[in-house]
Structure 1
Amino acid sequence: MSDEVNTAMLKDDIYKAVNGEWLKDAKIPADHSSTGGFMDLVDGIEKTLRADFKALANGEMQPANDEMTEFKKFYQLVFDFKQREQLGAEPLKPVLKRIEALESYQDLDEQLSDWMLSGLPLPFNFDIDADMKNAKVNALFSGAPSLILPDKTYYEPDNQAAKQLMPIYTQMVRTLLEKVGYSADEAEAMVEEAKHYDAQIAPNVKSAEESADMVKNYNPEKFTDFVKATNQLDLKRALTELIGKTPDQVIDTEPNYFAFLSDLLDDNNFTLMKSWMIVKTVVSYSNLLSEELRVLGGTYSRAISGQKEPASQDRAAYYLATGTFSQVVGDYYGKKYFGEQAKQDVHDMVVKMINVYKQRLTNNDWLGEATRKKAIVKLNSLKILVGYPDRIDPLYKQFKVKVAADGGTLVNNVQAFDRIAIQDQFSKWNQPVDREKWEMSADTVNAYYHPFKNIIVFPAAILQAPFYGLDQSSSENFGGIGAVIAHEISHAFDNNGSQFDEFGNMNNWWSKEDHEHFDQLAQNMIKEFDGLPFAGGKVNGKLTVSENIADAGGLSCAEEAAKAEADCDLHQFFINWARIWRNKSTQQREQLLLSIDVHAPSELRATVQVKNLADFYITFDVTAGDGMYLAPKDRVNIW
């Protein structure tokens, strides 16, 4: 595919100028919902690792450690398609019987802690994470269950996507239920009951936009008060059994939902809840069963994303195996395919970006002196993780695969792993937070900033062209991975990150005047994106504001770093920025992301942010009347 840049178009649309030839030729594979910069890297890594793991499974390659030995066994089990066909839905029957046996809330209550450990559906969930006000210690969080439709906003009466999606979901679940042994009448009744239950949940949970405001997710409540949310289930006993001690508080991320919980868990809803549990279980386990059930169980998700065909049996098996042993796979990938030279080079780039930020904060003309100093303290405390972790998460030492000869199936192995992981999570309550723990594996094409830990993480997989390459120019690298690095640093100072201090504690370290000024700048960013037309819909500026602030700060700081290099070429810098966002997606996927994704569409990330930078206009001689021109008064500059 061509990488030719249409220089005549640069003034009117840099995204199409850089990616136009590629967009013309690019085809979305039938088993994908998108293709482009990120997805090309994902596909390349998949191709590499599938070849390696085929050799591992065949005995042509030896496992490097005990965790890889267990991964090899699981990989062989996942690819034993003959066994999966022979077993059909049988491995799922004991799980369904357990739900079917419930005759009252009391029956559920008597096994509630074990039910949670088993990962079975419940109309609430609990998690352990860093306490947002005391980020050195892990706390208990409560949350709401996921909905059938992608977001609360889909339940509004005029939502056209919902009118298309719900019939597809209904038909898929009916057929699945019949395939696993229920009669047609039972299947029809259960799916309607599950939908009725889901419809009661939807109005009481947060939308993606509401959840994006991190500070509003922090609602600490005395444990003794919180457990009064329902008298049908003894939450105090169950959580005490799981944690080993009665906690003093719960951080409630969904207070409106838990205020509604007692109404949801009334006697009239018990049968609906059971049907909801069965439906969720059958759908979630379908990918572990026969090929027919796997393909059928993915019908709805493919409809949501616009994916025309299911992934091949081999491809689905690869992702199931590597997803289950993600950090083990990441360790293998990082050590084999990511060199020390690149690791050091990227680490040096991160340090350069931090220094740019320090300089900008020092020279900032709208922050008060005390706030500026505190911001620099936060930068100095920022922990940098590049490539892959120093060690595999100890959790994986507990994963012991039960092979087929000993009665092992995908279902009972995954159940065992889930149980270990859930128990491990609850064991971390009130324990020190591990700032070294990675929440992405090294083979993941992404990066992140964690506000509770004040860390930035760059997995090895994203550290390759077009984002980064030892053979790319410094300007290209700064326009690619440099901007991504600075983007993650910017998250420490976006509308969410700015609420957390150098330790990751939610702490108002800004003066009132500084916050008011920042809030106005954030409003300007919301305004810049809000309502922009895309894929038949409009961008939600409030939903995407954090990522847009990070993009703006990241691009601006990366440009400054590029300019400090002897071989600076801002043409290359801006062109590679536009290149990394190249993307072609199905309309369904684009519309879905407009509703739920905190990132703006890729094309707009490429085009809108450069309009805020004075050097862009100089570099490409953009003037009033050109498509890429934005009047100076409308340009948004925060960091």
Structure 2
Amino acid sequence: MSHFQKEMLTRGKGRNTMSTYKRTTLDDDDLVDSAVDEVYPNGMQVSLMGPSHSTRCWAGWTGMEKRLLVLVGFLSAALLVSVLVMGIHYKHDHPRVCLSEACVTVASTVMGALNRKVDPCEDFYAFACGGWVQANPLPDGHARWGTFNNLWEHNQAIMKHLLENTSMTGISEAERKAQRYYQACMNEDKIKELGARPLQELINQTGGWALTGPWDKDNFQEVLITVSSLYRTSPFFSVYVSTDSKNSNSNVIQVDQSGLGLPSRDYYLNTTANHKVLTAYLNFLVEVGVLLGGTEASTRVQMQEILDFETTLANITVPQEERMDEELIYHKMPARELQTLAPVVDWMPLLSAVFAPVELNDSEPVVVYAKEYLQQVSDLINSTSKSLLNTYMMLTVVRKMASNLDQRFQDAEERFLEAMYGTKKSCVPRWKLCVSDTDSALGFSLGAMFVKATFVEDSKAIAEDMISEIKAAFEDHLKYVSWMDPETKKDAKEKADAIYNMIGYPKFIMDHKELDKVFSDYEVVKDLYFQNVIQYYNFSARVTADQLRKAPNRDQWSMTPATVNAYYSPTKNEMVFPAGILQAPFYSRAWPKALNFGGIGVVMGHELTHAFDDQGREYDKEGNLRSWWKNSSVEAFKKQTQCMVEQYSNYSINREPLNGKHTLGENIADNGGLKAAYKAYENWVRKNGEEEVLPALGMTNQQLFFLGFAQVWCSVRTPESSHEGVITDPHSPSRFRVIGTVSNSPEFAKHFHCPPDTPMNPSRKCELW
């Protein structure tokens, strides 16, 4: 599926929707409400940043907290003044100091984040972020808080203003639809008036369920077709359209495993460690079931059966680390063979409904990524009661739609999330939820307004220049990669040359006619939020079907322009950098180049390196999955990567070891991105000469580069969120993204004068690119 469709069809991010697409992004946590870059067909997502929850309202703060906030503001202002004064004195003896307003401000920010009591050679993360962590206690309602959150909330505030400015002139009908969608979401009185009725009516229309009365029907196929096609849920397995990995010029139907309500199979299988979450999940299902008309006792019995059923599903679900080699899990077959593979499903009626109005026959090609799973889930369905199967399918719709109902449902979900992520209850402003939801559904309409309001057009040219410098540095270093044979090295350079850059926003959103055409088939009703959501799923189903058999379009993105993230698409061999991330703390045209290369430069290097990570390397320069490496280089690659698997597996957080195999792709990208960006900065200095240093820090610009990289990842998170990250996130925790990467960097050790065998300068370093 195209990036644009994937963004459209993953509405409700952060609501337990199962992602079925592949992508390689900078981070995939719970920070920004964003989709990710192209997901690998095995379902793995590799991303830069992810979505967050709420912020605490000022009205809920105690007097002491308010006084502390005022004190922090006063101290910050005092620090800024002291930096300026120190800088003026410093200028007398060091004429190469930058004393512009931007330099003084950013120097103050950098200095405030430091903890100089820590030796950078012992723990660079604690040195770079210790002050920031101390000054930024985790806000209520958030499982994690970091520099990404600040930027996302800044972008949200801009979008709020744009969505509420209904008197704005010169905007397209598609942009008006985004405003109406937001207004309907904000109409809490109407949502409260309707209560549970919209979802109850939907359930009744789909055939009902045993929670609210006697149920004995033989309608498994009909319900499966309805919930899969109209409401875009994925009970048992996911069916979608995406680029054919072995024929990147065509979109094809794909089928993969899915079906779990919790983020990972580990939650079901490791019951001792996850008892609290499993209990909260069961209570959530019971509470929602009662709100929809069930009795407490009967609903609890049935929801326990659902939990037991999902546990059985978890047992047959293949762990992500066993799905990393796409060559092994890619199986292309005519649709008729699905009937033999999983005979319990009547496949042709299901596929015809999901991809209507496109006409299909049983020779339609389908790519299956979970062959053994489909066989096992077919047997499981056969041995499960029809009533339980029906309740489970209805529940996939309920879990997806309940948060679009009144406050009672949102409170139930909030209680579950508090247990899941260890968050504290907070008063989340309704507008933040509605901005994020509008960005998920009509993010390209909203993105057109966001770009016009915020994006400076020459930022594209500046970003292009930086990418060119980083790509040149990466390709130059390829010459010195000793483990790769010359022929494969030559092909790797050609692939790097061929990577296509997309910056800021897709072109079509700035053309009113084109934008209106995309959303012409989607009607938005001003006051009926739930109806708009249902209509959106129907609309997105038609968009999906329209892409079948067509060539993927480069002008279709999987991230909206305001997203604070970036991604690499293996089947398009392209990198995408939305306008939302081309801001501080990643980039500012007024900052020293050292900070820009350490910030957005490392992001660019990160996405570039994904083209050569453990999965991206399997795709050629045209985006096709094929064996284009010589066997000797494949074996050498695996040997080199084993070093990183072992390195990151030796890290632990809250006594829980990381999975170095699961995080390998992102660790490769982090290490390669830092190296390429540093080499590019060195090349820039050779061409342009040393730039002025920041005042008062007492650091070289080379040290500032590494500091800029590290401070992007300053963050705090709950123990529960850290646990969730360890078992689900393809990225290492922020602390290890910093210390793991710099400890492999000879340049870091050189510029911070780290003695041999100190923690940040070990004798054994892992190097790939």
Q: 1:238 to 1:146 in 2, by over 3 A?
A: closer
Runs of 4+ in 1 over 6 A off after TM superposition: 102-105
CA shift at 1:364, angstroms? 3.4
Structure 2 counterpart SS, 1:139 = strand
Q: Any residues of structure 2 matched to 1:109-188 within 5 Å, and which?
A: 109-110=221-222, 113-119=225-231, 121=233, 122-156=235-269, 158-188=270-300
CA shift at 1:530, angstroms? 0.9
Q: 1:106 to 1:378 in 2, by over 3 A?
A: farther
Q: Cα deviation per residue 1:433-490 (whole Å; 9 max; x = unaligned)?
A: 1122110011111101011110100111111112111011111111111011011000
Please say if residues 121 and 754 of structure 2, whose CA atoms lie closer than 8 Å, have aligned partners that are also in contact: yes
Q: Does 241-250 or 102-111 show the bigger shift?
A: 102-111
Please say if residues 217 and 386 of structure 2, whose CA atoms lie closer than 8 Å, have aligned partners that are also in contact: yes
Q: For residue 474 of structure 1, what is the aligned residue in structure 2?
A: 593
CA distance in 2 between counterparts of 1:42 and 1:120 reads: 27
Please say if residues 149 and 162 of structure 1, whose CA atoms lie closer than 8 Å, have aligned partners that are also in contact: no
Instruction: Figure out how many residues of one structure are paired with residues of the other and give that number.
Output: 629
CA shift at 1:254, angstroms? 1.6
Q: Any residues of structure 2 matched to 1:235-274 within 5 Å, and which?
A: 235-241=347-353, 242=355, 243-246=358-361, 247-266=363-382, 268-274=384-390
CA distance in 1 between counterparts of 2:450 and 2:329 reads: 35
Q: Cα deviation per residue 1:188-211 (whole Å; 9 max; x = unaligned)?
A: 232122112212211111223234
Q: For residue 442 of structure 1, what is the aligned residue in structure 2?
A: 561
Structure 1 counterpart SS, 2:385 = helix
CA distance in 2 between counterparts of 1:272 and 1:250 reads: 29
Paired AA for residue 220 in structure 1: K
Q: Does 91-100 or 351-360 show the bigger shift?
A: 91-100
Gaps of 5+ in 1: none
Q: 1:316 to 1:215 in 2, by over 3 A?
A: same
CA shift at 1:344, angstroms? 1.0
Q: 1:273 to 1:323 in 2, by over 3 A?
A: same
Q: For residue 286 of structure 1, what is the aligned residue in structure 2?
A: 402
Please say if residues 3 and 22 of structure 1, whose CA atoms lie closer than 8 Å, have aligned partners that are also in contact: no
Q: For residue 450 of structure 2, what is the aligned residue in structure 1?
A: 333
Q: Does 1:199 align with 2:311?
A: yes
Q: Does 605-614 or 485-494 show the bigger shift?
A: 605-614
Q: Give the number of the structure whose residues are more often helix, by fraction.
A: 1
Q: Does 1:543 align with 2:657?
A: no
Q: For residue 750 of structure 2, what is the aligned residue in structure 1?
A: 618
CA distance in 1 between counterparts of 2:469 and 2:372 reads: 44
Q: Cα deviation per residue 1:347-404 (whole Å; 9 max; x = unaligned)?
A: 1101111111222224433322221221122122211001111013654332211233
Structure 2 counterpart SS, 1:143 = strand
Paired AA for residue 510 in structure 1: W
Please say if residues 208 and 595 of structure 1, whose CA atoms lie closer than 8 Å, have aligned partners that are also in contact: no
CA distance in 1 between counterparts of 2:259 and 2:325 reads: 18
Q: Does 1:401 align with 2:524?
A: yes
Q: 1:268 to 1:629 in 2, by over 3 A?
A: closer
CA shift at 1:417, angstroms? 1.0
CA distance in 2 between counterparts of 1:284 and 1:272 reads: 19
Q: 1:468 to 1:131 in 2, by over 3 A?
A: same
Q: Any residues of structure 2 matched to 1:565-584 within 5 Å, and which?
A: 565=684, 566-567=689-690, 569-584=701-716
Q: Any residues of structure 2 matched to 1:49-60 within 5 Å, and which?
A: 49-56=159-166, 59=167
Paired AA for residue 450 in structure 1: S
Q: Cα deviation per residue 1:417-439 (whole Å; 9 max; x = unaligned)?
A: 11111221122121111122110
Q: Does 299-308 or 135-144 show the bigger shift?
A: 299-308
Q: For residue 429 of structure 1, what is the aligned residue in structure 2?
A: 548
CA distance in 1 between counterparts of 2:265 and 2:750 reads: 44
Q: Cα deviation per residue 1:122-163 (whole Å; 9 max; x = unaligned)?
A: 32220111111111101111122231332112233x443421
CA distance in 2 between counterparts of 1:484 and 1:587 reads: 27
CA shift at 1:301, angstroms? 2.8
Q: Does 344-353 or 319-328 show the bigger shift?
A: 319-328
CA shift at 1:613, angstroms? 1.6
Please say if residues 247 and 624 of structure 2, whose CA atoms lie closer than 8 Å, have aligned partners that are also in contact: yes
CA distance in 2 between counterparts of 1:532 and 1:267 reads: 43
Q: Does 1:33 align with 2:163?
A: no
Q: For residue 638 of structure 1, what is the aligned residue in structure 2?
A: 768
CA shift at 1:233, angstroms? 3.1
CA shift at 1:537, angstroms? 0.9
Q: Does 1:79 align with 2:165?
A: no
Q: 1:613 to 1:285 in 2, by over 3 A?
A: same
Q: Does 1:208 align with 2:320?
A: yes
CA distance in 2 between counterparts of 1:148 and 1:130 reads: 26
Please say if residues 215 and 496 of structure 1, whose CA atoms lie closer than 8 Å, have aligned partners that are also in contact: no
Q: Does 267-276 or 32-41 show the bigger shift?
A: 267-276
CA distance in 1 between counterparts of 2:730 and 2:399 reads: 26
Q: Does 196-205 or 74-83 show the bigger shift?
A: 196-205
CA distance in 2 between counterparts of 1:433 and 1:268 reads: 39
Cα root mean square deviation, aligned: 2.0
Please say if residues 209 and 596 of structure 1, whose CA atoms lie closer than 8 Å, have aligned partners that are also in contact: no
Please say if residues 508 and 555 of structure 2, whose CA atoms lie closer than 8 Å, have aligned partners that are also in contact: no
Structure 1 counterpart SS, 2:520 = helix
CA shift at 1:7, angstroms? 4.5
Structure 2 counterpart SS, 1:73 = helix
Q: Which has the higher contact order (CA 8 A, sep 6+)?
A: 2
Structure 1 length normalisation: TM-score?
0.94
